[in-house]
Amino acid sequence: MDPLSNLEDKFSFESIDSSEKRKEALNEAIQMMESYVKLDNSVAVLSDLASNKSYIFTGNFGVFFNMHSPEYTTIDSIWEDEIYQRIHPDDLFQRHLLELEFFNFLKIVSPEERLNYATKCRIRTLNTKKEYQYILHRSFYLKNSSEGGLWLAVCLYNYLFEKSGAVLGIDGKIINTKTGEIFQIDTYENCINLLTSREKEVLILIGKGVISKEIAAKLNISLNTVNRHRQNILEKLNVTNSIEAVRTAEALNLL
């Protein structure tokens, strides 16, 4: 299971409108994406963070994923697992780190400016011949709620026409599509304050194989406090276990 497959804990704190307010805006967004994939030829995933549903639109790039539906499909998740299963595990991990960085980046941007930003990266993905091929991945938020919370997210998949060159990894970027400003993502600076100093101490000891009872004794805190820190760490890093937490924190340069 990929280490950042659940951003629900982050999204759950966003300010979301009532279902009636969302319905009209969602229908408008669906119509927009139906037209967009016809122009862009991409596969698009529109994720509704409020209802935990996604709508998948298949342009001509759908043949890469063996997707041929003329109509959009609906899944009960904000994660397109059918596509994730085709992505190289290392690239999927890095892609989710980029999304976590993007989410935290947008939290310091005014709601009206957030929609001007997008991510861009390249990811190795299995083609119809079961061979890894670099494709283009982009993501952005299409709509905020009326109260300024992040609401409708879009992921786009398409052919990568640029030459890969000597660039390592997924070559993740955050781009201001209005001004053209590019933020190369290699330090995850917007995630630097995700963990408190105490949570970092606990996670370092976890990484060394120290059990909770011994962590409590070393840090002179109660076992309940250690367990609470452990749970907070998992939620903040959007992972499901301590091994994934250590790996993610090290990748984000938090330890």
Domain count, the chain: 2
Q: Do both 38 and 159 map to the same domain?
A: yes
- Which residues form the domain of 83? 8-189
Domain end point (choices 189, 213, 241): 189
CA distances from residue 119 to 129, 138, 153, 157 in whole angstroms, order as listed = 28, 5, 12, 12
Asked, for residue 2, whether it belongs to a domain, the answer is no
Asked, for residue 198, whether it belongs to a domain, the answer is yes
Contact between 135 and 63 under an 8 Å Cβ cutoff? The reply is: no
Asked, for residue 62, whether it belongs to a domain, the answer is yes
Residue 207: which CATH number? 1.10.10.10
Asked, for residue 47, whether it belongs to a domain, the answer is yes
Asked, for residue 53, whether it belongs to a domain, the answer is yes
CA distances from residue 127 to 38, 63, 123, 132 in whole angstroms, order as listed = 21, 9, 12, 6
Q: What would the two tokens of residue 175 be?
A: 């781009």
Residue 178 burial (10 A CB sphere; 0-12, 13-18, 19+): exposed
Residue 184: which CATH number? 3.30.450.20
Asked, for residue 1, whether it belongs to a domain, the answer is no
Q: What is the pLDDT of residue 28?
A: 92
Q: What are phi and psi of 46, to 5 degrees?
A: -100, 115
Residue 27 burial (10 A CB sphere; 0-12, 13-18, 19+): exposed
Domain end point (choices 189, 215, 240): 189
Asked, for residue 14, whether it belongs to a domain, the answer is yes
d(CA 54, CA 152): 9
Q: Do both 58 and 181 map to the same domain?
A: yes
Q: Do both 75 and 162 map to the same domain?
A: yes
Q: Do both 48 and 78 map to the same domain?
A: yes
In tens digits, what is the pLDDT along the chain, a chain of 255 residues? Answer: 444 444 544 544 444 556 676 788 899 999 999 999 999 999 999 999 888 899 999 999 999 999 988 899 999 988 899 999 999 999 998 898 898 889 888 988 888 899 999 999 999 999 999 999 999 999 999 988 777 788 899 999 999 987 766 667 899 999 999 999 998 876 677 777 888 999 999 999 999 999 999 999 999 999 999 999 999 998 888 777 888 889 888 888 888
Give the position of tokens 């499909």: 73
Q: Do both 216 and 201 map to the same domain?
A: yes
Q: Do both 161 and 227 map to the same domain?
A: no
Asked, for residue 89, whether it belongs to a domain, the answer is yes
Q: Do both 173 and 203 map to the same domain?
A: no
Q: Do both 179 and 204 map to the same domain?
A: no
Give the position of tokens 């609470």: 228
Tell whether pTM > 0.85: no
Q: Do both 197 and 182 map to the same domain?
A: no
Domain end point (choices 172, 189, 206): 189
